[in-house]
Amino acid sequence: MSNKTILRALAGEVLPTPPIWMMRQAGRYLPEYRATRAQAGDFLALCYNSDLAAEVTLQPIRRYGFDAAILFADILLLPQAMGADLWFETGEGPRLSTITTMAGVKGLKPKEDIHDTLAPIYETVRILARELPRETTLIGFAGAPWTVATYMIAGRGSKDQGAAHALKAADRATFQALIDAITAATIEYLSMQVLAGAEVVKLFDSWAGSLKGQDFIDFALTPAKQIIHALKARHPDLPVIAFPREAGQGYVGFAKATGADCVALDNSVSPEWAAEHVQISGCVQGNLAPEHMVTGGAALVRETRRVVDAFKGGAHIFNLGHGITPDADPHNVSRMIEAVRG
């Protein structure tokens, strides 16, 4: 049996204390992250600088002793490797060249040609595999095809993913071709992360919640299933975490339908409901509201204990329901960890 608690939880083991990590654990709330980002120049330069990306991945492990480290990178590096232009507007977020036609999809690089751009990411993984403490699990990741497509179609983030929904309605063939191209590239990208030393991979479908009914099945569930099945064919023991954020009822049965070993839960579902309806079929991860990392106090401790207690009957990895925000207080992270570990 592995001495890594994250791997044990992913194998379905019920542990006396859940292992912990935090989405965006290397991020702007940490002064040491801000200093390293300044040294790199900007966010994208940091992602492609293997030594500094490994350094910021390690910072929250040193400070807090999390049970997992997540590779420092971004879901939008894959579209960039496929040929999209990508830049970050300070204070606003990502910008990409847009793809809305079949010619645009056909003009993307084939999946074999993404690795030149992504080579520094694989190198970051190799450094981390060497340098992480023996008990810390290394998680690789990619965006899920729908979420990545929403950025490639609109050229930026949006609250309602309107441009992607519009293309899906107006030109289904182009939309499907884009989803398929991202799916194929994601399999190659994640497979290379595994070969470089990632022990677990996570699929971030941040905008899964705006897919309803058959669309949820076609564009959240089906691509996740294709990616997970292809990865497990190549790497049979690889655990996979799926995060169809704000899926609501869609969380029920998602792990079984896709082959995921764990479903990550956002904080719009209650932990008591999720224990009854989702955790009964396997490991779950989540789901403290990230706001508590800003507000702290007695509510932070109470809600942390509530999440731990709700999930204590099954396999559970403690995490937030979404990424920690830049205005979070680093001391609140320590308080959360104390409340989990007791």
Please state, in angstroms and as integers, the Cα–Cα distance from residue 231 to each residue in 71, 117, 201, 240, 258, following that order: 18, 21, 10, 9, 12
Tell whether residue 28 is a contact of ligand CP3 (CB under 6 A).
yes
Is 24 designated active site? yes
Q: Segment contacting ligand CP3 (CB under 6 A): 71-79, 163-171, 246-254, 263-271?
A: 71-79
Is 48 designated active site? no
Q: Of 183 and 206, which has the nearer Cβ to ligand CP3?
A: 206
Q: Of 74 and 329, which has the nearer Cβ to ligand CP3?
A: 74
Q: Considering only residues 136-155, where is the footprint of ligand CP3 by CB under 6 A?
A: 141, 143
Tell whether residue 76 is a contact of ligand CP3 (CB under 6 A).
yes
Tell whether residue 24 is a contact of ligand CP3 (CB under 6 A).
yes
Q: Considering only residues 80-99, where is the footprint of ligand CP3 by CB under 6 A?
A: 93-94
SS3 state of residue 325:
coil
Q: Segment contacting ligand CP3 (CB under 6 A): 22-30, 126-134, 179-187, 233-241?
A: 22-30
Longest dimension (CA), the chain: 57
Tell whether residue 75 is a contact of ligand CP3 (CB under 6 A).
yes
SS3 state of residue 271:
helix
Size of the site for ligand CP3 (CB under 6 A): 22
> Could you give the angle at the alpha carbon of 26 between the alpha carbons of 72 and 189, nearest 5°?
15
Is 215 designated active site? no
Handedness of CA 225, 219, 9, 187 (dihedral sign): positive
8, 24, 29, 33: the catalytic one is 24
Closest distance to ligand CP3 from the beta carbon of 142 (Å): 9
For 214-292, where are the E strands, in sequence order? 240-244, 262-264, 283-288
Is 151 designated active site? yes
Tell whether residue 330 is a contact of ligand CP3 (CB under 6 A).
no
HSE, side-chain direction, 13 A CA sphere, residue 315: 19
33, 37, 67, 245: the catalytic one is 37
Q: Considering only residues 255-314, where is the footprint of ligand CP3 by CB under 6 A?
A: none
Q: What are the backbone angles phi and psi of residue 319, rounded to the nearest 5°?
A: -160, 175
Q: Segment contacting ligand CP3 (CB under 6 A): 72-80, 119-127, 291-299, 300-308?
A: 72-80
Cα–Cα distance between 258 and 55 in angstroms, integer? 33
64, 151, 189, 251: the catalytic one is 151
For the chain, where are the E strands, in sequence order? 68-70, 86-89, 93-96, 137-143, 200-205, 240-244, 262-264, 283-288, 316-320
Positions annotated as catalytic residues are 24, 28, 37, 74, 151
